[in-house]
Amino acid sequence: MKTDFIIVGNGLAGSLLAWNLLQFEKKVVIIDEFNNTAASQVSAGIFLPITGRRIVRTWMADELLAEVKTLFTELGKLNGETYLHEMPVVEIPASVKEWNEWQQRASSPDISKYISRFLEPNAIESINCPYGAIELKNSGYLNISKCVNFLRKLYLDKEILIEEKFNFANLQYSDKINYKDVKADKIIFCEGAEGVNNPFFNYLPFQLSKGEILTISCNTLSEKQILNHGIFILPIGNQLFRVGSTYEWNDLTTNTTESARNNLNEKLQAVLKTDFEIIEHKAGIRPSVKERRPFIGMHPKHKNIGIFNGLGTKGVMLAPYFSKHFAWHLAHEKPLMADVDIARFS
């Protein structure tokens, strides 16, 4: 079988890179071993333009958001599904100090444009919010697993996805790439957290982090907003909510732990005035990067071996824009942005 590109991995990164290359009428063969603990299967999928405790605008927020909305709306239309759910994120400060920080940061136009309104103390039913709350816009969540699994089915139907574990022992590379009976011009690795074991790219500064996430059922919480109080509480329909996530850098297994469950449970009890029931608990590994920029580009020595990885905690925001950006580079030699090009490490 002959193709232009082999893509290893059909998570958010690989499936969207394949999608964009197919739009350029390139031939693609994807090799993926389905794993229900892969980040894209476990993830909450939240996107929002403001990051972290310091209340800063997410890097390239507006450019990234535009691609998020266009691509996932387009993919949803293909089979009449909704993958992207736009809804406010409501930040619940833990102290007067935090509330004041929000007020102060709101004086910057960079931040104020993403704030819909400030809410009075105790304005939200079923929630402890004694200092008030801040409602953000241009936010929501992507049902990542549903979207990625739709693309998986599409690629299986087109007979361009091979379901198996990629084995480096079978890879031959010189001018051309040969993998078993597939001959390609280039191979691109999109292995998520497994990328740390890739012999071509294990020099890149990954900083993997484990995340654990619960699904709870709760009859009294509003399903129209995502709450953030150190943990996210995200409505997914039928009075179910995803709650997470924890951060852990030492235990990089995908086993769920009692300590993470207790931690999330305690935080939930502190913020919810109402009863809830835990019905699921999952863990996955985020393919995070020390300096929080994706890994994109071709190997410094092997020019037909590339990588698209390092989406970290922001897969939903980064993947649409940068899968398209990389596809332009691969299909039409458009230069890569220096901030994301792995040439920055050579």
Ligand X SMILES: Cc1cc2nc3c(=O)[nH]c(=O)nc-3n(C[C@H](O)[C@H](O)[C@H](O)COP(=O)(O)OP(=O)(O)OC[C@H]3O[C@@H](n4cnc5c(N)ncnc54)[C@H](O)[C@@H]3O)c2cc1C
Site for ligand X in 17-36 (CB under 6 A): 31-33, 35
From the list 7, 28, 29, 38, which residue makes contact with ligand X (rule: CB under 6 A)? 38
> How many C-beta atoms lie closer than 10 Å to residue 278's C-beta?
14
Q: Does 161 bind ligand X (CB under 6 A)?
A: no
User: Residue of minimal CB distance from ligand X?
Assistant: 11
In the chain, what is the greatest distance between 2 CA atoms, to the nearest angstrom?
65
44 near ligand X, rule: CB under 6 A: yes
* Binding span for ligand X by CB under 6 A among 12-20, 71-79, 123-131, 336-344: 12-20
- 319 token code pair: 């993947």
In this structure, are residues 6 and 31 in contact, taking their beta carbons and an 8 Å threshold? yes
Q: Site map for ligand X, 170-209, x if CB under 6 A? A: --------------------xxxxx---------------
Cα end-to-end distance, the chain, whole Å? 33
Q: Which of residues 79-138 bind ligand X (CB under 6 A)?
A: none
Helix (H) or strand (E) holding 4: strand 2-8
Q: Among residues 16 and 221, whose Cβ is nearest to ligand X? A: 16
Residues forming beta bridges with residue 47, ordered by sequence position: 140
Asked if residue 229 binds ligand X (CB under 6 A), the reply is no
Q: Which stretch binds ligand X (CB under 6 A): 79-87, 172-180, 220-228, 311-319?
A: 311-319
> What is the smallest separation between the CB atom of 292 and ligand X, expressed in angstroms?
12
What is the size of the binding site for ligand X (CB under 6 A)?
44
Can residue 320 be called a binding residue for ligand X (CB under 6 A)? Answer: no
In the list 40, 145, 225, 228, the residue contacting ligand X (rule: CB under 6 A) is 40
Considering only 186, 229, 281, 286, the residue that binds ligand X (CB under 6 A) is 286
Q: Could you count the other beta carbons within 10 Å of the beta carbon of residue 255?
A: 9
Q: How far apart are CA 89 and CA 135, in angstroms?
A: 6
Distance CA(26)–CA(49), nearest Å, equals 33
In whole angstroms, what is the distance from residue 9 CA to residue 272 CA?
Answer: 39
As a whole number of angstroms, the distance between CA 161 and CA 335 comes to: 28
Closer by beta carbon to ligand X, 49 or else 315: 315
Give the whole-angstrom CA distance, residue 51 versus residue 57: 6
Task: Candidates 43, 58, 145, 323: give the one binding ligand X (CB under 6 A).
Answer: 43
- Distance of alpha carbon 179 from alpha carbon 35, whole angstroms: 21
Task: Kindly tell me which of 99 and 166 has the beta carbon lying closer to ligand X.
Answer: 166
Smallest distance, ligand X to C-beta of residue 10, A: 5
Instruction: Assess 165 for contact with ligand X (CB under 6 A).
Output: yes
C-alpha pair distances (Å), 319 with each of 149, 186, 192: 16, 20, 12
Closest CA to 214 of 239, 244, 237, 236: 244
Q: Which of 5, 6, 11, 68 binds ligand X (CB under 6 A)?
A: 11
Q: Tokens 């497994």 appear where? A: 194
Q: Over the Cα atoms of the chain, what is R_g?
A: 21
Among 93, 235, 284, 306, binds ligand X (CB under 6 A): 284
Q: Which residues bind ligand X (CB under 6 A)?
A: 8-14, 31-33, 35, 38-40, 42-47, 144, 165-166, 190-194, 211, 213, 244-245, 284-287, 309, 311-317
